[in-house]
Each structure stands twice: as C-alpha cells, then as structure tokens.
Amino acid sequence: MSRGSLSDIHLEIIEEMISESLAKAAKSMEQMLRIRVNPELIQFGEGVLKPLHEFDDLGRFKVNLMKVAFKGEINGAFYFIINSHEMDLINQVNLPDDITYSRSSHHKMMRNDFMAEIENLIANMSISALSEFLGVEVTGEVPIVRNMKGELVNAYLENENEQNETAFFVKSTLDGVVVNISPHFLWMIDENFVRITKLNTVA
C-alpha cells in the first residue's frame, strides 16, 4: 500500500472494501467465463498510478482496454486491460469455433462484445461498492473501448492520471487458475475519495 494522509485504520477499512469488490468481480467472471479466477490486489494507496512495465514488454502486440468513468460526489474511472492472446484464450473456451476462428468483421465484433459485457459488469459492481462504502451517489458513464499497442498503454494511463486528477489508485489482476489469463483491473479516484473516507471514519 502507498501511505499519505490516510491512517492505518483508514487503509485497513479501504483494503477490506477493495478485496470484497475484487472477490465479487472474480466470482462474476467465473460464472460468465466458466473458468476459475483468483483476484490479486497488487497495490493501492494515495497518489497516482505508476507505470506498469509489463505492458512495455508487449511492444507492438495489441491490448484491449475498456474505461468506465464515474461521476458524482467522487470522480474517477476503472480500467480493464487484457492482451490479445488472453482474449483469444477466453474466446476459445466460451465461444463456438465458427465465431472464435472466423475472420469476418461481424464475428470479430461478437468476440469483442462478449468480453466487453463482462468488463462492464465488473466495473459497475465496483462503482456500487464505492457508492455503498462512502454512502455517496456515483454514476457510471458509457464504457469506452480501445485497442492499442501494449507499448502505448503507460502513456495513455499517464494522461488519464492527469485527466482524473488521481489521488488514490488500485492496481489488481484477475488471474485464471487453469486458463492462463491475468487481465489488469485498475482504479483511479480523485481527492474526494480520500476526503470523504476520512470524514466517515474515526481513526
């Protein structure tokens, strides 16, 4: 965890909320993908999300990145990032061969839509968890999906840190137990999250 103005008690309570949210995300992912998934909370705390060097290693290989922004008494965004190989593995497990291996634009759209539905569900569950945790109104916006080279992800996230005025971040993965996938699930939240957490919690 990354320490700032939040106390140990604040961080323990926040960690419990994040862990519960990730556990629900993993369970939903298991049900929809029919694979076992373990959530891993890698890092969280005050400040901006630091570069994820594993994406630099992908070079020109593509990733699928979904952003779901949220606004209200707190503001920020969730990011779900999965590389093209992991997408292929998920499609092979869950979709018919005639869709999985087809080169038609229609079937390609179906493959992307299948994963986008799961990502959007996970993001909206996390928005609900934040809202309930702080007792505030938070509304999710329309998801934005991008396909980009892995080597461009960190530049994109750096810009998002600025746009979101990130004051608190979460870095996590949702790891397949048998199927070899580890998509990243990232949170960027503004200063209001820190402020309201301190107001709501005696530390």
- pLDDT tier for residue 201 given thresholds of 50, 70 and 90: confident
Note whether residue 80 is domain-resident: yes
The pLDDT-based confidence of 197 (bands split at 50, 70, 90) is: very high
Domain for residue 107, yes or no?
A: yes
45: left (phi > 0), else alpha (psi -120 to 50), else beta? left
Using a pLDDT cut of 90, give the percent of the chain over it.
Answer: 61
pLDDT at 53 > cutoff 80: yes
Specify if 36 maps to a domain: yes
Q: What is the pLDDT of residues 87-140, one digit of tens each?
A: 888 878 776 777 666 677 766 777 667 778 888 888 888 999 999 999 999 999
First vs last Cα of the chain: how many Å apart?
17
Report pLDDT for 200: 83
Cα–Cα distance between 171 and 184 in angstroms, integer?
A: 7
Residue 3 inside a domain? The answer is no
What does the pLDDT read at residue 203? Answer: 57
Q: How do residues 131-185 score in pLDDT, each as one tens digit? A: 999 999 999 999 999 999 999 999 999 999 999 999 999 999 999 998 889 999 9
How much is the pLDDT for 78?
96
| 195 burial level (CB within 10 Å; 0-12, 13-18, 19+) | middle
CATH code for the domain in which residue 36 is found? 3.40.1550.10
Q: 32 falls in which pLDDT band (50, 70, 90)?
A: confident
63 in a structural domain: yes
Q: What is the pLDDT of residue 182?
A: 93
Total tally of structural domains belonging to the chain: 1
Please give the residue range of the domain that contains residue 26.
Answer: 8-200
Which of 84, 85, 159, 77 is CA-nearest to residue 120? Answer: 77
Task: Quote the pTM value.
Answer: 0.90
Q: Judge whether 2 lies within some domain.
A: no
180 in a structural domain: yes
| Residue 4 pLDDT level (bands cut at 50, 70, 90) | low
DSSP track, the chain: -B-SSS-HHHHHHHHHHHHHHHHHHHHHHHHHHTS-EEEEEEEEEESPPPP-HHHHTTTT-EEEEEEEEEEESS-EEEEEEEEHHHHHHHHHHHS-HHHHS---HHHHHHHHHHHHHHHHHHHHHHHHHHHHHHT--EEE---EEEEEEGGGHHHHHHHHHHHHT-SEEEEEEEEESSS----EEEEEE-HHHHHHHHHHS--
Q: Mean pLDDT across the chain, nearest whole number?
A: 89
Is residue 1 situated within a structural domain? no
Query: Could you tell me what percent of the chain has a pLDDT over 70?
Result: 92
Is residue 187 a contact partner of residue 98, using CB atoms and an 8 Å limit? no
pLDDT at site 202:
66
